[in-house]
């Protein structure tokens, strides 16, 4: 039996550099774009050519995935439409018992690898009544509920080697990259199901109650999920540009008379249906970044 992930952790610059140096010594790839694949979206990494693959368990100091359906647990280097990228096939979640610092460990490694832009994808529940299952939401902003409760990956000693003590988050999601996503979607005939909105992170792993969904709608959230925000915070701290894409896999339940029950199998089924569209969008987008 594998040991449970550590619920608290702190890392030094040397830890991140050890991991980055180990990877650089084993591949001549020099990616400028990193992609974090959300639930059921790991097939994005399968599009890469000239792949070099590292299981998480083999990478020094890298977190080891627990078994979550839709997350393979591999770091994949390769070319996407001729552009060198690195993909995380499976991310780490706070609800798995990882510390928020462990969840975001790969992002600082990406920064030391020379990555300049981060694309984060996730599966999310639709809070906006105008959204349909299968829509792709370009994230324009986020609400960090765990951060409200002190679970921010930047809590603790600040390493000036990565960024400033108080990083700005009003520009967390790059305006130019968002515009590029809409332009690419139009070219690829994906714009009919593209939305733009606010993503709210909750800790999970339980799905939201009806009352909680109503509160999140009042907050101004358009979609809700259990990931993404910690990675974005650290990416911006490191100076990376960020594009976030949420695949709306289900509509949240806001009616007490409803018999609908959200489940992970439904989430994965929807990602399978829309995965090719998302792959097409991202693969053409990276060539323009």
250 is a catalytic site residue: yes
Q: Which pLDDT band, with edges at 50, 70 and 90, does 272 fall under?
A: confident
With 0-12 / 13-18 / 19 or more C-beta atoms within 10 angstroms meaning exposed / middle / buried, residue 21 is middle
For the question of residue 39 being annotated catalytic, the response is yes
Which one is catalytic: 20, 181, 221, 226?
A: 226
As beta bridge partners, residue 83 has 80
140 or 190, higher pLDDT: 140
pTM: predicted TM-score of the whole model, two decimal places: 0.91
**What pLDDT was estimated at residue 186?**
93
Out of 11-25, 157-171, 241-255, 262-276, least confident range:
262-276
Residue 270 reports pLDDT greater than 90:
no
SS3 of 234, please? Answer: helix
271 vs 80: which has the higher pLDDT = 80
Strand-pairing partners, residue 124, are: 248
Classify residue 2 by its DSSP letter. P
CA dist., res. 126 & res. 129, Å (int): 7
Q: Where are the domains of the chain?
A: 27-288
Q: What percent of the chain has pLDDT over 70?
A: 89
- 237 is annotated as an active-site residue: no
131-167 confidence digits (pLDDT tens): 999 899 999 999 999 999 999 999 999 999 999 999 9
Q: What is the mean pLDDT of the chain?
A: 89
Confidence class for position 235, pLDDT limits 50, 70, 90? very high
Phi, psi angles (nearest 5°) of residue 78? 170, -170
- Average pLDDT of span 247-258: 82
Confidence of residue 274 (pLDDT cuts 50, 70, 90): confident
Specify the higher pLDDT residue, 201 or 271. Answer: 201
88 a catalytic residue: no
Active-site annotation holder among 96, 124, 144, 207: 96
The catalytic residue among 11, 20, 34, 39 is 39
The residue from 123, 172, 185, 221 that is catalytic is 123
- Annotation marks residue 123 as catalytic: yes
Q: Which of 99, 227, 246, 283 is catalytic?
A: 227
Selecting among 56, 65, 88, 93, the annotated active-site residue is 93
Q: Which pLDDT tens digit goes with each residue over 88-107?
A: 998 899 998 999 999 999 99
Q: Which of 117, 128, 144, 250 is catalytic?
A: 250
Which CATH number does the domain 27-288 belong to among 3.40.50.1980, 3.40.50.1580, 3.40.50.150, 1.20.120.80? 3.40.50.1580
Q: What pLDDT score was predicted for residue 6?
A: 47
Catalytic site residue from 16, 20, 65, 71: 71
């Amino acid at each position: 039996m594998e040991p449970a992930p550590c619920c608290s952790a702190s890392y030094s610059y040397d830890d991140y550099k050890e991991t980055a140096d180990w990877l650089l010594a084993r591949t001549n790839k020099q990616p400028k774009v990193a992609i974090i694949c959300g639930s059921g979206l790991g097939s994005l990494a399968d599009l890469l050519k000239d792949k070099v693959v590292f299981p998480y368990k083999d990478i020094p100091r890298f977190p080891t995935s627990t078994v979550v359906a839709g997350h393979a647990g591999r770091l994949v280097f390769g070319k996407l439409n001729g552009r060198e990228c690195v993909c995380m096939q499976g991310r780490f979640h706070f609800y798995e018992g990882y510390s928020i610092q462990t969840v975001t460990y790969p992002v600082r490694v990406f920064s030391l690898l020379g990555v300049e832009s981060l694309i984060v994808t996730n599966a999310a529940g639709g809070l906006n009544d105008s959204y349909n299952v299968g829509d792709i939401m370009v994230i324009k902003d986020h609400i960090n509920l765990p951060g409200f409760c002190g679970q921010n990956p930047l809590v603790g000693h600040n390493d000036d080697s990565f960024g400033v003590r108080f990083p700005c988050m009003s520009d967390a999601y790059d305006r130019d990259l968002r515009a590029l996503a809409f332009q690419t979607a139009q070219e690829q005939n994906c714009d009919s199901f593209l939305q733009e909105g606010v993503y709210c992170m909750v800790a999970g792993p339980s799905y939201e109650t009806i009352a909680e969904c109503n509160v999140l709608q009042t907050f101004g959230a358009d979609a809700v999920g259990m990931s993404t925000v910690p990675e974005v915070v650290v990416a911006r701290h490191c100076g990376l540009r960020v594009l976030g894409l949420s695949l709306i896999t289900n509509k949240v339940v806001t009616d007490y008379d409803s018999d609908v029950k959200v489940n992970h199998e439904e989430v994965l089924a929807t990602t399978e249906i829309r995965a090719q569209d998302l792959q097409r969008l991202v693969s053409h987008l990276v060539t323009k970044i």
